[in-house]
Amino acid sequence: MSSREVQLQSTVFGFTANGRLHTLSVWFILALRLMMGIAFLQSGADKVLSGSFSAAGYLQNAPPANGSPVADLFVAMGSTPAFVDFVNVAVPWGEVLIGLGLIVGCLTRLAAFWGAFMMLMFYLGNWDISHGYINGDFAYMLVFLSVAAFGAGRILGLDAYIEQYDVGGEALVDRYPWTRYLLG
**Domain residue extents for the chain:** 5-181
pLDDT digits (tens, 9 = 90+) for 28-84: 999 999 999 999 999 999 999 999 999 999 999 999 999 999 999 999 999 999 999
The per-residue pLDDT for 22 is 84
CA distances from 70 to 35, 73, 120, 134, 167 (A): 29, 5, 12, 17, 46
CB-facing half-sphere around the CA of 108: CA atoms within 13 A: 35
Q: Report the pLDDT averaged over residues 150-162.
A: 96
Q: Is the dihedral of CA 58, 46, 104, 142 positive or negative?
A: positive
Q: Are strands 170-171 and 166-167 parallel, antiparallel or unpaired?
A: antiparallel
pLDDT tier, 4 (very low <50, low <70, confident <90, very high otherwise)? low
Residues 183 and 107: beta-carbon distance below 8 Å: yes
